Amino acid sequence: MAGTDSTRPTIATGHGPAIILVRPQLGENIGAAARAMLNCGLTDLRLVAPRDGWPNPQAVRAASGADLVIERARVHQSTEDAISDLRRVFATTARPRDMVKTVMTPDSAAAAMHQAQADGDRCGVLFGPERMGLENDDIALADTVIEAPLNPAYKSLNLAQAVFLVAWSWFRLGDESPGSRIELGATRPATKEELLNFFTRLEAALDECGFLRPPEKRPSMVRNIRNMFQRMQPTEQDLRTLHGIVAGLFRHRDGD
């Protein structure tokens, strides 16, 4: 996870919600938030009155290569100015406020952002200062509040964690990669012909050693064994190893 990958594809920009950090205090946190954004394909970073000014070399270092986000970051003097071109604004908070607002989880908010984007409406998400979060006046500017379903006894995310939580929720709705995959390296998935050849050899060996008995149970035992190996989705290298195991066992037996 650590480090950067110089072989990663170029990330499309200009899509997704704007990430608006309201009065952020530390450059390191801005950089870490930029890193979280770029991992999820977001590049529109807006800073409202950053305490230590801008540009900030600490932010560059903490961004760990997310230079695109840092270089394009725009500074605004007020939250109103930062959201002026947006049609839908979300505000993140972990504390109940005395306001009537629609409250969404990060996932439901992400779905709403995707729908708004499909309708041609720009969205943005407000994140407050590290110590106290957003002020009520900032939240009042938002249409919707985002509240993550965390441990009720302890809801404490740092700025980059909060940004990543929302950004990841948005990103994965548009992610078409499989939920899991096997890194095959130099090998490939075994063909059915290769798998059947292995079954033939294995079953002959099991017949010879008397494992597939009694005869009336042989068909169900063979099916169970075949199903077991097919659930493994073996590679060509796996089958070569299994062939070697079978051959090695019988060489050992014959040698005895």
The pLDDT, as a whole number, for residue 5 is: 46
The pLDDT, as a whole number, for residue 128 is: 95
112 and 42 in one domain?
Answer: yes
- For 231-243, b/e burial (b = at least 16 CB within 10 A) is eeebbbebbeebe
Q: Is residue 186 part of a domain?
A: no
The pLDDT, as a whole number, for residue 126 is: 97
* Alpha carbon 250 to its chain's center: 47
Which residues of the chain register pLDDT less than 50?
1-12
Q: Is residue 8 part of a domain?
A: no
What is the rounded CA–CA span in Å between residue 116 and residue 194? 50
The pLDDT, as a whole number, for residue 159 is: 95
What is the rounded CA–CA span in Å between residue 256 and residue 252? 6
What is the rounded CA–CA span in Å between residue 29 and residue 159? 6
196 and 169 in one domain?
Answer: no
Q: Are 81 and 135 in contact (CB under 8 A)?
A: no
Longest CA–CA separation in the chain, Å: 85
116 and 71 in one domain?
Answer: yes
106 and 47 in one domain?
Answer: yes
196 and 168 in one domain?
Answer: no
Side chain identity, residue 19 = I
The pLDDT, as a whole number, for residue 179 is: 54
Ramachandran region of residue 16, left (φ > 0), alpha (ψ -120 to 50) or beta? left
Domain end (from 173, 200, 235): 173
Domain span at 236: 192-255
What is the rounded CA–CA span in Å between residue 61 and residue 107? 30
The pLDDT, as a whole number, for residue 2 is: 46
Q: Is residue 156 part of a domain?
A: yes
Q: Among 122, 120, 56, which residue's Cα sits nearest to residue 89?
A: 122
The pLDDT, as a whole number, for residue 107 is: 95
Q: Among 196, 85, 184, 79, which residue's Cα sits nearest to residue 139?
A: 79
What is the rounded CA–CA span in Å between residue 45 and residue 126? 11
209 and 132 in one domain?
Answer: no
Phi, psi dihedral angles at 249 (to 5 degrees)? -65, -40
The pLDDT, as a whole number, for residue 6 is: 40
